[in-house]
Amino acid sequence: MRNIAPKDAAELDATETREWLDSLDYVLQSGGPGKVARLLRELTIHARQNGVKMPFTANTPYINTISVDEQSLMPGSPDLERRIKSLVRWNAAAMVVRANKAEEGIGGHISTYASAATLYEVGFNHFFRGHESGDGDVIFFQGHASPGIYARAYLEGRIDETHLENFRRETKAGGGLSSYPHPWLMPDFWEFPTVSMGLGPLMAIYQARFMRYLEDRGLKAHTDSKVWAFLGDGETDEPEALGAITLPAREKLDNLIFVVNCNLQRLDGPVRGNGQIIQELEAAFRGAGWNVIKVLWGREWDPFLAKDRDGLLVKRMGEIVDGQYQKYAVESGAYVREHFWGADPRLLEMVSHISDDQLKKMTLGGHDPIKVYNAYKAAVEHKGSPTVILARTIKGYGLGEAGEGKNITHQQKKMNEDELRAFRTRFGIPVSDADIGHTPFYRPAEDSIEIRYMRQRREALGGYVPTRKNRSQPLASVPSEPFEEFYKGTEGRKASTTMVFVRLLSKLLRDKDLGRLVVPIVPDEARTFGMEALFRQVGIYAHSGQVYEPVDMDTLLYYKEASDGQILEEGITEAGSMSSFVAAGTAYATHGVNTIPFFIYYSMFGFQRIGDLIWAAGDSRTRGFLLGGTSGRTTLAGEGLQHQDGNSHLFAMAYPNCVAYDPAFAYEIAVIIHDGIRRMYVDQESIFYYLTVMNEQYAMPPMPDGAQEGILRGLYRFRATSNPGAKLRAQLFGSGAILPEVIKAQEILESKYNVGADVWSVTSYTELYRDGHAAERWNMLHPGETPRVPYVTHTLKDAPGVLVAASDYVKAMADSIDRWLPRPLTVLGTDGFGRSENRAGLREFFEVDYRYVIVATLAALARDGKLDPSVVDQAIKAHNINADKPNPAIS
Ligand SMILES: Cc1ncc(C[n+]2csc(CCOP(=O)(O)OP(=O)(O)O)c2C)c(N)n1
Ligand SMILES: [Mg+2]
């Protein structure tokens, strides 16, 4: 072989490369980009097959995804839109500055909206469709950008100056504005709470999927509505934000658009000082199958990129880390020239003809309406997958010395007069130097060209956004037939409350009026709850239908997926399921459809795991039923510490519009769900339900006469003593699966210890607690009037004897009503970590079985001097109780 000198080899290499490129150019010209892509794919495969290892990259270069050639002209009036945006900017900043004039400032954010203004304004003027358009978009606004959304609503004339003045002063007369998007507080305005970061993007994904579900099931006409979710780049560190991004790609949800405001900063500092958040997100979203559109550079960069034939500039753009980019944002043009362009004399040469000032003014993509418009246009036109727009901006844009790009900018709430003046001048706001100290709001006259333009645009796009409205008709009534069999009991047959619920659900699904509105939601747990019959009955929702032959096709209850399936089988994601619950439970407002979600899950993985989403559900005015299955610390045998729930009712108590029940019997469940549907879907109350259901089987008794009111209010007498004249008396409270233990204790107390005991079913300590406090509060504020009596006080006023409560939940539940009872309550409950054990062993360990109810009752009688302590001692021995066993609450 002939030796080739290195110089010759390099020349050969260059020639070869040139030839390849020429061929490629030829194919590009003759066959177009599609052909080139195909060819490259084939080449890659061929190379792979021959052992060539290609380095993996999920990234594209650090430039705009949409090239200048692909851009469309932007319709409308750019000048007017810029002016309107400036007015929104001013009023948003003024609102926050005014709210923080007083020594005790009440917060608010300027810099988030300042960086996102163009992203929103292009949406408002050209894309966001209001509900009157028939294709109404669903928009999740970034929580911290709320000042800008309010400022726009002010210019649109939807809220007035008093509202702006009362930003974060919600209790003031005339109405205030909530700090962040909260439908609970502003039910005519905000649709979705987003400020607990990460929840907005997650809920948006499931909202987009639920919209498809409604269409596929014929509950809503097919529309071209989009779900827009605006989020911060820092927010993407929340696991919830990115945790479900494979779903919308899998389900081809091209009705979903994420806009990530990549200002490269979060609260404390840079999101990825030493890296590039945009490239990181691009890789994650592309890997998940999204259409990724990067909007990095404003139009001023286009000519330089056009001249960048050897890729020097693109390379330079791609090698700067975010912390350094942030530095450029706060520095002068001269600094940028020296440190960014100065890396290579050829780069320096490129900018030699422009001034430092011009260099400094070269904008980023997220601040350039043309770039943003084109990205949105591409996103709404894109088919077959969701789109994420990664828009580069500067945090605190326009604030100058008051915080633009600085690490403190997120917390910046005040501006001094100099800073205000500079801000005003930069955006051309007609506020005089004399007035600047008051930071006045500014709204042009009603018939000004700006206000008319804003109104016209919104009119053309179907009305103002955000607007929340109940768009559904209330149900006329709740049918009684599905509930009736449960009032009769099971005539000795054993059943668990879970089985009862599933039977009731299956009947509701068959109901001719309600059936189609029911949305069963399960996180891969249907078999756990004995719900597999529903697979066949109503099908599992799958947009694509079932494209395979299920292994159990020949069985009665096969795993049936269908495009009009009714069950939302979410897989193992309580957070995703809860997001579906919110989408279904707010559809009465968002889509004008009264869907009734029933989300059943392991109760331990509910409030404890996804409590913040349940809180957001409450805020969103979600309606529906959460079912905590396999609940009760001692009723769920075997599963142990992580599974056995004795806490969820304590959590539920803190959720203001959550109505929580721990029912024991079939008829209780029927009464509660019947009344729940009435309250939520006939009377339109903004509440949701939490019911725990258990898997211990016992005979379900018939409903005692007149029990209905007590079931709903939280307490009723299930069974009176057969010996009311007994000298020793007791009132025993039981809940859930512990109620049968209490009933057993009643029988033994009467037969063996001559204690006449009444048994009460406590269906809801939470309801009793709330009612007690409501009465007490009223009495405090109305001292001269006849005091109100709490329900529990009234109900038990003549009940004689000691009071003992037992439940499968922590003792705090029963303790919470103690003050409204005639005498102190002795409480048995399941404080402590669970154990793997059988049911009897668990109840012994946690001291909640019938024996402990007996001992607790006798001990209370002894404490009251009604009984000699030796009787208690004897009972302890007779029932084989180890008095010196460790305290389960701390062992
Ligand atoms: C779950 C949660 N944790 C913390 C916060 C507090 N917080 C509010 S804004 C913010 C920084 C936001 O940064 P980014 O998401 O980048 O938004 P930007 O303001 O930069 O647009 C933090 C930490 C919150 N609102 N929610
Ligand atoms: Mg940020």
Three-state SS for 494-547 is EECHHHHHHHHHHHHHHCCCCHHHEEEEECCCCCCCCCCHHHHHHCEECCCCCC
Tell me: pLDDT of 158 over 90: yes
Query: How many angstroms separate the CA atoms of 553 and 543, rounded?
Result: 20
Report the share of the chain in percent with pLDDT over 90.
92
pLDDT value, residue 6: 65
Tell me: pLDDT of 603 over 70: yes
The ligand placed nearest to the CA atom of residue 238 is 1
CB 174 within 8 A of CB 162: yes
pLDDT value, residue 173: 78
Distance 266 CA to ligand 1 centre (A): 6
Amino acid letter, 311: G
Give the phi and the psi of residue 553 in degrees, each rounded to 5.
-50, -35
Q: Give the pocket of ligand 1 (CB within 6 Å).
A: 112, 144, 195-198, 232-235, 261, 263, 265-267, 271, 395, 410
Alpha-carbon separation of residue 545 from 539, 549, 766 (angstroms): 10, 11, 43
pLDDT value, residue 4: 64
pLDDT value, residue 133: 84
User: Which distant-in-sequence residues (6+ apart) come within 8 Å of 562 by Cβ?
Assistant: 539, 540, 541, 542, 545, 546
Looking at the CA of residue 612, tell me the nearest atom of ligand 1. Answer: 1
The ligand placed nearest to the CA atom of residue 197 is 1
- Provide the token pair at 166: 């009362």
Alpha helices in 636-677 (DSSP H): 648-653, 666-677
Distance 856 CA to ligand 2 centre (A): 58
Within 10 angstroms of residue 304's Cβ, the number of other Cβ atoms is 16
CB 481 within 8 A of CB 652: no
Tens of pLDDT along 737-775?
999 999 999 999 999 999 999 999 999 999 999 999 999
Mutation probe of ligand 1 site: the residue of 96, 109, 197 with most atoms within 8 A of C-beta? 197
Tens of pLDDT along 661-697?
999 999 999 999 999 999 999 999 999 999 999 999 9
Tens of pLDDT along 76-102?
999 999 999 999 999 999 999 999 987
Distance 234 CA to ligand 1 centre (A): 7
pLDDT value, residue 556: 87
Distance 265 CA to ligand 2 centre (A): 4
Mutation probe of ligand 1 site: the residue of 267, 364, 397, 406 with most atoms within 8 A of C-beta? 267
Distance 4 CA to ligand 1 centre (A): 61
Looking at the CA of residue 410, tell me the nearest atom of ligand 1. Answer: 19
Looking at the CA of residue 195, tell me the nearest atom of ligand 1. Answer: 25
Tell me: pLDDT of 660 over 60: yes
Tell me: pLDDT of 137 over 80: yes
Looking at the CA of residue 261, tell me the nearest atom of ligand 1. Answer: 21
Question: Distance between alpha carbon 764 and the CA centroid of its chain, in Å?
Answer: 26
The one-character DSSP state at 341 is G
Strands (E), 429-557: 494-495, 518-522, 540-541
Q: What is the pTM of this model?
A: 0.95
Give the model's confidence band at 55: pLDDT under 50 very low, under 70 low, under 90 confident, else very high. confident
pLDDT value, residue 254: 98
Query: How many angstroms separate the CA atoms of 553 and 560, rounded?
Result: 8
pLDDT value, residue 12: 84
What's the rounded mean pLDDT across residues 439-445? Answer: 97
pLDDT value, residue 21: 85
Mean pLDDT, all residues of the chain: 96
pLDDT value, residue 253: 98
CB 368 within 8 A of CB 118: yes
Give the model's confidence band at 208: pLDDT under 50 very low, under 70 low, under 90 confident, else very high. very high
Distance 267 CA to ligand 1 centre (A): 6
- Provide the token pair at 610: 């996804």
Mutation probe of ligand 1 site: the residue of 266, 397, 404 with most atoms within 8 A of C-beta? 266
Looking at the CA of residue 109, tell me the nearest atom of ligand 1. Answer: 19
CB 537 within 8 A of CB 560: no
Cα within 13 Å of Cα(247), Cβ side: 28
Distance 235 CA to ligand 1 centre (A): 6
pLDDT value, residue 103: 72
Closest CA to 668 of 704, 618, 632: 704
Mutation probe of ligand 1 site: the residue of 115, 144, 613 with most atoms within 8 A of C-beta? 144
The length of the chain in residues reads 891
Tell me: pLDDT of 2 over 70: no
Cα within 13 Å of Cα(876), Cβ side: 12
What's the rounded mean pLDDT across residues 284-313? Answer: 96
